[in-house]
Amino acid sequence: MSHSEDVSEVAPGYTPPHDTDPTEGLSSYLIGLGLAVLLTAVSFFIARTTLVWQPSIPVALAVLAVAQMGVHLVFFLHITTGPDNTNNVLALAFGVLIVLLILTGSLWIIAHLNHNMMPMDQIMRMQ
């Protein structure tokens, strides 16, 4: 099988072939590593610092985590929005949809359940 340049779809994780020089694909991994280290450092800094408004910390951590996952997807797994990557992106979109349904659905339902449930001491008294 020869590496063909005329592919219409690219597999995730696929970097264009380098028959002689692997340093060409290196830049993607270096950029990804740099961005990931930066985002991780900011996350750990924000979690420990007292400089920022405390209630904003979970939101900031969530935003940083989503950004870092995006960095990993693009620079390490090579999932991009290019026209040669449509199937992978569609599968990813479906996966994200299911993940969001599971997370928000669980949290929503259980929060309502907790809210509507009789306090524990009253349940004990009824028994």
Partner 1 sequence: MSGAEATVGMHGVAAHAAEQVISKRIVVGYGFWIFLLSDIVMFSAFFATYAVLMNATAGGPGGRELFDLDNTAIETACLLLSSFTCGLASLGAQAHRGSLFYTAMAATFVLGLAFIGLEAHEFAGFVARGAGPTRSAFLSAFFSLVGCHGLHVSAGLLWLLTMMAQVFAKGYRPDILRRMLCFSLFWHALDIIWVALFSVVYLMGAAT
Task: Compute how many residues bind partner 1; rule: CB under 8 A.
Answer: 61
Do the beta carbons of residue 52 and residue 46 sit within 8 Å?
Answer: yes
Query: Does 123 participate in binding partner 1 (rule CB under 8 A)?
Result: no
Tell me whether residue 6 or residue 121 sits nearer to partner 1 (CB atom): 6
Tell me which of 51, 74, 81, 92 binds partner 1, using CB under 8 A.
Answer: 92
Footprint on residues 26-55 left by partner 1 (CB under 8 A): 26, 28-29, 32-33, 36-37, 40, 43-44, 46-48, 54
User: Measuring CA to CA, which residue among 13, 40, 39, 42 is closest to residue 28?
Assistant: 13
Cα-based distances in Å from 18 to 23, 28, 105: 8, 14, 46
Cβ closer to partner 1: 91 or 118?
91
Nearer to partner 1 (CB atom), residue 48 or residue 115: 48
What residues make contact with partner 1 under the rule CB under 8 A? 1, 4, 6-15, 17-22, 25-26, 28-29, 32-33, 36-37, 40, 43-44, 46-48, 54, 57-58, 61-62, 64-65, 68-69, 72-73, 76-77, 83-84, 87-88, 91-92, 94-95, 98-99, 102-103, 105-107, 110
